[in-house]
Structure 1
Amino acid sequence: MGGFRLGDLVEVSSKEEGFLGSYFEARIIKQTEKDEFLVEYTKLYEEDNNKCLLREVVPRTSYFNVSDPVDVFRKDGWWYGIITGRDPIRSKRTGEDRSIYSVYFPLSGEEIEYRKWELRAHLERVNGNWIASRVCRSSYGSGSGGFVKKSSSGGVLV
Structure 2
Amino acid sequence: MVRNVQDPGGPCGDPRFVSFSTKIAVVVRDDLPVWQRLNVCAFLVSGVAGAVPELLGEAYEDADGTKYLAMFGQPVLVFEAPAEVLTSAHRRALDRGLPMSVFTADLFATGNDEDNRAAVRAVPRDRLDLVGLAVHGPRNAVDKVVKGARMHP
Q: Same fold (TM over 0.5)?
A: no
Q: Which structure has the highest strand share of the two?
A: 1
Greater relative CO (CA pairs within 8 A, separation 6+): 2
TM-score, normalization by structure 2: 0.26
Q: Which structure has the highest helix share of the two?
A: 2
